[in-house]
Amino acid sequence: MARQKKKRFEEIVERDIVIEPGKDVYREIKGKWREKVFKNNNGITLEIACGRGEYTTGLAAEFPNRNFIGIDVKGDRIWYGSSVAEENGLDNVAFLRTKVHDLELFFEENEVEEIWIVHPDPRPKTRDAKRRLTSQRFLDIYKSISKENALIRFKTDNYSLFEYSLEVIKRNGIKDLEYTFDLDQSSLKEDHFGIETRYEKIFKEKGCLINYLKFRFDNA
C-alpha cells in the first residue's frame, strides 16, 4: 500500500492540473487561475474537501464552459480525481492540495462564483464545531473569496450536521435559501445531475437520507 501511495504521489507531481506544495505555481496562483491553469476567462467553481473529486469531474463534464477546482489536503485522493480528468480529457478541471482554512492564500476576493461542500467530515464532538466546514469561520472564508451572488451548496447524510449548518447559515446575511431533508424525493435533486460520491452510495445503501441546501450571500 505504501509503495502504491508513493507511486501516486510521484504521478501527481507530473500533472500540471494539480497545484501542490513544491511547485512554483503553488505560491503564484492567487488571482491567476484563469491565466496560469485554465487559459480562459470562464467562471470558477470549487469543491471543498473534494475527496476523489466526483463533483469536480462530474460537473466539469456537464459544464465544459466553466472551470472546476477540487480542494483537498490528501494527495492520494487528488490522484483519483486528476486521473479521471486526464482520462476523460477534461481541460476545465484542476486540483489544489491545501487545507481549507488556507483558501484565502490561493484565491482573490471575488474570484469564485460557486462553492460545493459535499459530505464533509461531520466533526460530531462539540469541541470540534469550529472545524466543521459550515462553521462561521469557514463561511467567512467562502464569502471573502466569492463574487457577489455566488452560490453555496452543501450536501450531507448527517442530520445533526445539517441542522447545525442551517442554524449557522441563517445567522448570516443570505438570500435564496432552499433546502431539503430528503434530496431523492425533492425537486432539488435535479441540481446534482446524478452525481454521487463513493461514500454517498454507501450511506444510501444503509438507508440514510441525503440532506441538501443552497443559498447566496446577500452582499447588498
**CA–centroid distance for 71 within its chain:** 6
Quick one: cell of 29? 496562483
From start to end of the chain, where are the E strands?
Answer: 18-19, 44-48, 67-72, 93-97, 112-118, 146-156, 174-180, 211-217
120-139 pLDDT, tens per residue? 999 999 999 999 999 999 99
Which CATH number characterizes residue 176's domain?
Answer: 3.40.50.150
User: Among residues 16, 102, 121, 182, which one is catalytic?
Assistant: 121
Which of 71, 68, 57, 51 has the alpha carbon at shortest distance from 112?
68
Which of 208, 23, 60, 50 has the alpha carbon at shortest distance from 119?
50
> What does the pLDDT read at residue 86?
96
Report residues of the chain scoring pLDDT below 70: 1, 219-220
Planar angle of CA 116, 111, 145, nearest 5 degrees: 65
> Is residue 63 in a domain?
no
> Is residue 32 in a domain?
no
Whole-Å CA distances, 53 to 59, 79, 170: 10, 9, 28
> Is residue 211 in a domain?
yes
188: left (phi over 0), alpha (psi -120 to 50) or beta: alpha
> Is residue 73 in a domain?
no
> Is residue 126 in a domain?
yes
> Is residue 75 in a domain?
no
pTM over 0.75: yes
> Is residue 67 in a domain?
no
> Is residue 135 in a domain?
yes
For residue 121, indicate whether it is catalytic: yes
What residue numbers bound the domain in which 176 lies?
A: 109-217
136-149 pLDDT, tens per residue? 999 999 999 999 99
What's the domain count of the chain? 1
> What does the pLDDT read at residue 3?
74
